A and B are shown apart, each in its own frame.
Chain A
Amino acid sequence: MTDPLFTRRRFLRTVILGGAVAPTVPSFINSTFAALDGTAASAFSPVTGKDDTILVVMQLAGGNDGLNTVVPYADDAYFKARPGLAIPAGRVRRLDDYCGLHPSLENLSALLDGGEAAIVQGVGYPNPNRSHFRSTEIWHTASDADKNEAFGWLGRYCDAACSGEDPGAPIAIGDQTPQALHSKSGRAIAIGAPQDYKFQEGMEPSPVEPDDDADAPAGGSIDMLFGSAGKEADVADFLQRTALDAVASSAQVQDILHRGHDGARYPASDLGRRLKLIARLIGGGMTSRVYYVSLGGFDTHSNQAGAHERQLAAFDQAVGAFCSDLKQQGNYDRVLLLTFSEFGRRVAQNGSGGTDHGAAAPLFLFGGGVRGGLHGKHPSLTKLDRGDLVHHTDFRSVYATILDQWLRTPSATVLGRNFGSVPVLRAA
C-alpha cells in the first residue's frame, strides 16, 4: 500500500518543483512545501515560525468592559457611574494605588507580578465607531475610522514579508478566517476541529493538471488573478487554491498531531482547546508565524456582573495554561500573545444591569519578550466623550511596535504610515 503522506509529498514536490502550476500556486504550498520535505528544506531556509518569533492574536469579541477588567478602584467617579456593577475596592487585585484587576484574573495577576504581562491603558482610535462590525473591521485592517481597507493588517504583513521568502501562511483557529488575516496573496488557513482536519480517503481534490494552464497567461502573477482576471476566474481560482492549501496544510497538521505530545493542563473550554492546539502546532514546528483566535461573549448589555466574571475567568485560565505550556516547551521567549477587543463599554451602567458600547479600553500582551507592567495612564473618568472614555494611545502604535520589533517588518510599509511605538517589548 502506498503511504498517503508519501504520495502527497511526492505530489507537492512534483507539482511545485516541476513548476507546472505557476499561476495557481497555492499560497500555503508555496510557503510550506519546504518544511514538508526534509531534503528540500535544507536547500531553502526561510525565516519561519519553526525557529523565529511568533505572534498570537486574540480578540475578546463583543466589546470587553475595560473598566471592570482594569478597575479604577480609587476613583469615586467609577462607583458613582456604576452603582450596581462596580467591583468593590476590597475585591480588586491591586496593581497600584489607583487601579487593579478584576478578581477573576488570577493568572494574569501572577503573570504581571512576574513581569511577563503588559497592560496598555487607554487604547483606541480617533472618531471611535460603536458598531461591533465596523469597529472590528477597523481593528482588523488598521484603517482610519472613515476609510475602508480590504486586507487585514496581518495579511498585509504576510504580503510584505512574502517577497522572496515566505514566513508561512497565518492560521486561524476556528471555522472562520478573520479579516485581519485576509491578504492579497491568498487566504489564511483555518483549522476548526484538528482531528477532522483531514480528507477522507478518495476525497482529496485532485492536483491541478497541466491542461489547466493551457490558456493561462504566461508568467501571470497571483495579483493578476485577483485583479483584472475578472470574477469568473476569481471564484474558480479561489476554490482551487483553497483546496490545495487544505491538502498541504492538513498533511502537515496531522503529522504534527501524531508526533506531538500533550503539554500543560488546559481548562476544558473552547478557548482552552484552541490555545492548546496553537501551542501544539508551535511545539511541533509549524512554519506559521501568526495565529488568530477569538473568545466571544463580551457584549454585556444586560445582567453583566455574572456573565462578565465567567468570561474573564475563562480567558484567564486558558491564557495561564497557554503560558505555562509554552514555558515547558521552551518556546515562551519567542511567542507573543496580544489580546484586544473592538471597543470598551460606556462608563455609566445602563438600566438592565449592563453596559452599552463604548470606546477606549486596555489591551494586554503576554510572553517572555514582554516588558511587563502597566503602560500609559488610566483614562479620565470625568473628561468623557459622549459618556465614553477617551483614548490616548492609538492601537496602531501597538501594532507598529509588534511589526517593527517582534516580526521585524517595517511597520510603515504595512500600516501605510508611521504610528510611533509603545515600549511594551524588551530589547531584542
Chain B
Amino acid sequence: MAWVTWRQHRSQLVATAGLLLALAAAAFGTRLPIHAAFHRDSLSACLPPAARSGCDIIVPHFEAEFAGWVTAARVLAVLPVLAGLFVGAPLLARELEQGTYRFAWTQGVTRRRWLLSKTALLAAAMLLAGAAASAVVMWWRGPFDTLEGRIGPSSFDVEGLVVPAYALYALALGVLAGLVFRRTVAAMTSTLVAFAATRFLVLEFVRPHFLTPLHRVVLATDTGLQPGDWVLSNTLVDGGGRQISAAREDLAVLHATQAGIDPHTYILTLGWKRLISYQPAGRFWTFQLIEAGLFVGLAALIVLVAVWLVRRTPT
C-alpha cells in the first residue's frame, strides 16, 4: 500500500516538501535582521519583572519595524487546511469521480484496509510536515514570543502541537467530504468551510474555557495588559461592579472635560475599575495539548465515520 500511496500522491507530497523548504528559506532569510534588532536594542532586558527604562518606546518600535512580516506570518495559519484540500479531499473523491474505485476496491486488499492504510500513511506525512512547519515558525517567531508571549491566537495557531493536529483534522475532513460529495471540487469546498467553521468555533467558544480564566482587577486607567497573557475580556466597571458602556464612559469624559479635569483622574476618583479576564502565558503548552488532542480526536472520529461509510458504498 505504501508504494501505491506514494505513486498516487507523490505530486502532493513533493509539493508539501517544496513548500516546507520555501518556508524554511524565507524564515532563515528574514530572521537574521529580526534577531539582530532584538539583540541590538537589548530587548531581553525589557522583559518583566525587571524591565529597564525606555522599553515603552523600544518595544513598540521593534514591533512596528517588523509588523509587516509578523502579519504575513499569520497567513501560515492556513497551511494545515491545504492538507485537507489537496491531499484529503481528492483521496476518495477522485477515485469515485473517475470510477477507478471499482478497480481499487476489487483487489485483494479490503476497502477498509485500503482506506485506513492510505489515510494513515498520508496522515503521517502531514503530521511530519505540520510539525516541521510549526518548528520553523516557532524558531522564527522566537523574539516576538519572548516579548508578547505565545498563548494569544496570532501565535498559538501557528506554533506548537496544534499545527500538525490541524493538518490531521483537515486531512480527515477532506477524506470524508470526498466520500460524501464524490466530486473533488465540492469536497475541497466543503472541507474548507468545515475546517474554517471548526477552527472559529473552537477559538471563540472552546479554547478560552479549556481552563478557568483568571481575573484581575486594576485601576480604571491601567491598561491591565501584561505581556504574554491572553486577555479574554477587558471591562470597565463602576464601584457597584456593573459594566460601564461606551456611552457612559464618553459622558463621564465629557463632564471631566467641561470641568477642566483630566478625564483619567476623574474616572479614578469615581472608583471605576478595570476587570480583566485572561489566560496566563504559562498555560501555553497545556492549551496546546488540549487543543491538539481535541483535533486529533475529531480527526479519528471522522476517519472512523469514513471507514464505516466506505464499507457501505456500492461498487
A binds B: no
A contact set with B: CB distance below 8 Å: none
- B residues in contact (CB < 8 Å) with A: none
